[in-house]
Amino acid sequence: MELTIAIFVTLVGAATPILIAAQGELIVEKAGVLNLGVEGMMLVGAIAGFAAQFYTGNPYVALLCGALAGLSVSMIFALLTLSLSTNQTATGLALTIFGTGLSALAGAPFSARPVSLMAPLFPAELSAHPVLRVIFGYSVPVYFSLFMVFAIWYFLKKTRSGLILRAVGENDLSAHSIGYSVIGVRYAAVGFGGAMAGIAGACFPLLLTPQWAERMTAGRGWIAVALVVFASWRPFRLLAGAYLFGLVMTTELYAKAGSGPLSTIPSELWAALPYLATIAVLVLISLRRDGSNTAPACLGKPFMPSN
């Protein structure tokens, strides 16, 4: 029981950054924009959050700085793709390269300098309890990610603003013809996605690795992008997919640290397993013919109004 609880707690921590980043990307793609720069925005958010935590010691300031950093970088993408109509795929890839280089440059002075991890939200009587810590043993970003699953579902399905966002993603010309600002909606969606990616990046030094290292997100941004497709652009499937990938990564950690039969598998294979799982999931999705994996109709297409 203790091992099972420990694995679950580790799983939740590993899945949280992926889930938060994927939630932001889901909103971006629902608006008809394909942003492949999630990894770069996460890295910029990670260094901003790390620096804020290092200098202030306040994890909430660190999360805010991570969100602002991700938002700022996402506006570069928005300006290029929405205002200047550059190719979204190429611009997203360039954003990832930019974020990787910028975070490495800004993080050089912090190499091998530790920060403190974010404390659990609830008192130690609950957060350190052998059993109750399954529910109460997490810090704020974990509960935030779970809350956002319901908030995004409600926004998309039950609000007028969510309907407008979906209309822009499905048929931008029709939305424009009845008076909605397609570019304005997409700017807001890209900004939200950037802020969420920045928060996800800040979670790495605050929840997982309290020490700066280049490329510390280790490709989790790409998993977040794939997870949106895996979830068929649905928030609750996003939660299930994120925890599935969290389980894969947690199994890797326990296999490397243990002495059972799983430890005989080469460490290189364990390191590659989350990405192999991503490829396998995408292949299975491409084989589905039930229509449940239909992407927003205008995804990745530039908005070209007729007047």
What structural domains and CATH numbers belong to the chain? Answer: 2-287 (1.10.3470)
pTM of the model: 0.91
pLDDT in tens, the chain (307 residues): 777 888 888 889 999 999 999 999 999 999 999 999 999 999 999 999 999 999 999 999 999 999 999 999 999 999 999 999 899 999 999 999 999 999 999 999 998 788 999 999 998 888 888 888 889 989 999 999 999 999 999 999 999 999 999 999 999 999 998 989 999 999 999 999 999 999 999 999 999 888 898 889 988 999 899 889 888 899 998 999 899 888 887 877 776 666 556 666 676 777 777 777 777 777 776 666 555 567 898 998 888 776 5
Residue 224's nearest CA partner among 252, 253, 256, 198 is: 198
Nearest to 44 by CA among 110, 105, 106, 99: 99
Residue 162 CB contacts under 8 Å (≥ 6 apart), including other chains: 154, 155, 156
